[in-house]
Structure 1
Amino acid sequence: MLLLVSLPKLPPGWSLRLLTGWWWIYCVLVVVAYRASMTAILANPAPRVTIDTLDQLANSHISCGGWGEHEKEFFLTSLDDAGKKIGQKFEIVLNEEEAITKVAMGEFAYYGNIFFLRHARIMRQVSTNANHSIGRITVANAPGEKSLHIMRDCVINMPISIGLQKNSPLKTQIDQFLYRIIEAGLVKKWLYNVMLPTNTLENIIKESSSTSALMDLRKMYGALVALGIGYFLSSVVLIGEILHWNYIVKRSPYYDKYAIHLYYSRMKNVRNKM
């Protein structure tokens, strides 16, 4: 509107020119900021509320569990309060598919190895087509399910090791052997070969999700509601102006449709006298 509609009269003084110029710049900045924020809200996905630390998991209302009695004992004998709270509500899981289904519904937290959790997440998100020669995959989430999230905080860092008897004389030689294996990159190579199918599916899902459109009708609801409220208020103001013009201005004894400027000058004098 500021670009298309010119001022009725140029300001005569520099003070008014500066005021008008800064007001024009302010309006342009407000419009640009509003447009940029609206575009960012509509283009970006909705933020996810996730649990990334043990304290958040301990204070949350969801239950947690894992496979084996030793994992529950590990949390119960923990030295920190968060681990003990998790151990008190820890459940022994015998069916991992059922546990992952509860995790997808946002009702459960499953404890396990990070590589196994990544594999379970990919297998939950991806359903392969019956025709394997085509190689098409589709990301599938049932209604009400959430995308599986792996917690950022690591509960325990378990390195590659070989179990020996206590005070075994072979420990020194075995340690040197393991150090050479790790330095040679055999462990990384082994993990890469084992996780290669999972990493491939993760990359495919990332590419498919990045190329898919982020705009949908649900994200447009907020903009439609805001526009609807603006149109409603504008209509109310317009109707009020029409009623004021027809029932107050036209019925005034000073009104003359052929000399509107006289009407405003007379009304100004009346207000000054009052």
Structure 2
Amino acid sequence: MLNDRVDNMMGHRFQLATRPYFPYMDYRTDTDEPESRVTPIDSLDFRILDVFAATLNFTYEINEAPNRAFGDYRNGSFTGIIGKLEREEADLSTIVAPTPGRLQVVQFCRVYESDKMVITSLKPALLPASLSLIRPFEGELWLGLLVSVVAWGVILWLLQRAWRWMSGRRGVRLNTALLYGWRTLLEQPPTTPPSNMTGRVLVGWWLVFCLIITTGFRSSLIAHLTVQGRSKTLDNFRDLLDQGDWRWGTEPWQFSGATLVYFSTNTDPVVKQINDKMEVLLVKEALQKVLEGGFSFISVKNYVRVIVDSWYTDAYGETPFYISHHGIHTLACFGWGFRRGAPFYDRFVQLMSRVEDAGIISYWTDEVIARRVRENRRAEALDHDVVLTDKLQEESSREALGLQHLQGAFYLLLLGSCLAFLTLLGENLAYSSSLP
């Protein structure tokens, strides 16, 4: 059981180094002085520390890390939390990530999985209603249909020419063959089929082909008009690059330490392009740019999840943001750091394994996040107000199909009328020029 006695540390007082990283660690500073003592706020590491202190009979004092940094290697030594452990100014620390360099100067205890890096963008927008008529088929399928109509018309014309050459009867002109195939595809086939068996077989198979195509188009069109399509979601780094003129950024504290090592040393060309164009800005500014469009915010999932749920979600759970489902683990795991040679290291590792095996860590993580969101919303009285952008309100409303949904059909009718008029004009000019 969790409360079994692992060892008795006789009230020993540990010195801890930390920095804020909710939901893992959060606190209030007691003074404005750097590296001052802090008072923990309900968070995952604070709950684990309280259980360990009661079980192992120790007390602790927590001090803020220099510059609130995890620790970078500079001028032959580490800064931040790792530097304090390296110099034995602290016995252990809360959340840090293991890297090859850090593991040479500190001991590490795995506590939880690393938080995934996710992409926060605007929710997919409704696709233009004017294109509903052509959206049931992909572009390559439309191209295939065009090629098929032309190819079938040419084949019919060639077969009829060969038949005319052998039988001496009247054949079919090329434009007639092409229009025959086009009319059949539009479910308006000519009433007079070819007189020879070769042409009839070819027309018969073309009718079967047109039946399959028109049935598929009709059913897909109904589906697209019933539920209007949306733009593609941005779920990974490749999706960001595919957007063309798109921008992205992250916060300064996230683009440092082990995360910066991941981006700066990664050999994947996609990650290298993301790193080269990464902008560094605060979360409020970044989310405002996301709302303006053409921008995405790259951050760890649990962190951005609390912010979006707290201040950008209404009482009905609606939010203008989309958080990608497919995140990237830039680090192997998160955990606690210990100074080298600490005699209590094995005891902490043993008890941490019991906590993890019991499923308490994942349960506490969700509970801490939900509680913080409720506190933030209660403080801002957001549960009593509907916080929806005009764009979200417009997209969430239901309406009957109108002219705006089928305007593509009217555009197509206008285009066909213009082409018919130009054809008539050309025929009249050709006929006039042929007169003596």
TM-score range, shorter chain: 0.5 to 0.7
3-state SS of the aligned residue for 2:249?
strand
**Residue 176 of structure 1: which of 350, 353, 356 is its match?**
350
3-state SS of the aligned residue for 1:47?
coil
CA distance in 1, matches of 2:341, 2:403: 67
Of residues 171-180 and 98-107 in structure 1, the stretch that sits farther from structure 2 once superposed is 98-107
**Residue 99 of structure 1: which of 279, 286, 291 is its match?**
286
CA distance in 2, matches of 1:211, 1:140: 11
3-state SS of the aligned residue for 1:163?
strand
3-state SS of the aligned residue for 2:351?
helix
3-state SS of the aligned residue for 2:362?
helix
Q: Corresponding residue for 1:86?
A: 275
CA distance in 1, matches of 2:398, 2:359: 40
Cα pair 1:54 1:153 within 8 Å, conserved: no
Cα pair 1:64 1:90 within 8 Å, conserved: yes
Q: Corresponding residue for 2:306?
A: 119
> Per-residue deviation at 1:185?
0.9
Unaligned runs of 5+ in 1: 129-136, 253-274
Q: Corresponding residue for 1:165?
A: 339
Which digits, 9 at most, give the CA deviation of each residue in 1:112-134, with x for residues without a partner?
x3112123334454234xxxxxx
AA aligned opposite 2:297: A
Which digits, 9 at most, give the CA deviation of each residue in 1:52-80, with x for residues without a partner?
369959x9863523253x74244554533
CA distance in 2, matches of 1:29, 1:54: 34
Which digits, 9 at most, give the CA deviation of each residue in 1:81-115, with x for residues without a partner?
6579738955363xx3223212333346343x311
TM-score (norm: length of structure 1): 0.56
Q: Corresponding residue for 1:21?
A: 204
Of the two structures, which has the highest relative contact order with CA contacts closer than 8 Å and spacing of 6 or more?
2
3-state SS of the aligned residue for 1:44?
coil
Cα pair 2:248 2:277 within 8 Å, conserved: no
**Which protein has the bigger helix share?**
1
Say yes or no: does 1:232 pair with 2:418.
yes
Q: Corresponding residue for 2:297?
A: 109
CA distance in 1, matches of 2:402, 2:365: 39
Q: Corresponding residue for 2:175?
A: none
Distance 1:7 1:126, change over 3 A: same
> Per-residue deviation at 1:224?
4.5
TM-score (norm: length of structure 2): 0.39
CA distance in 2, matches of 1:109, 1:100: 7
Equivalent runs, 1:133-148 vs 2, <5 Å: 137=316, 139=318, 141=320, 147=322
**Which protein has the bigger strand share?**
2
Aligned-pair identity in percent equals 17
CA distance in 2, matches of 1:4, 1:33: 13
What is the aligned residue count? 224
Cα pair 1:52 1:151 within 8 Å, conserved: no
AA aligned opposite 1:64: G
CA distance in 2, matches of 1:88, 1:16: 61
> Per-residue deviation at 1:22?
1.0
> Per-residue deviation at 1:178?
1.4
3-state SS of the aligned residue for 1:28?
helix
> Per-residue deviation at 1:212?
6.1
**Residue 193 of structure 1: which of 363, 367, 371 is its match?**
367
Q: Corresponding residue for 1:152?
A: 327
CA distance in 2, matches of 1:87, 1:4: 54
Q: Corresponding residue for 1:72?
A: 256
CA distance in 2, matches of 1:179, 1:87: 40
Distance 1:75 1:116, change over 3 A: closer
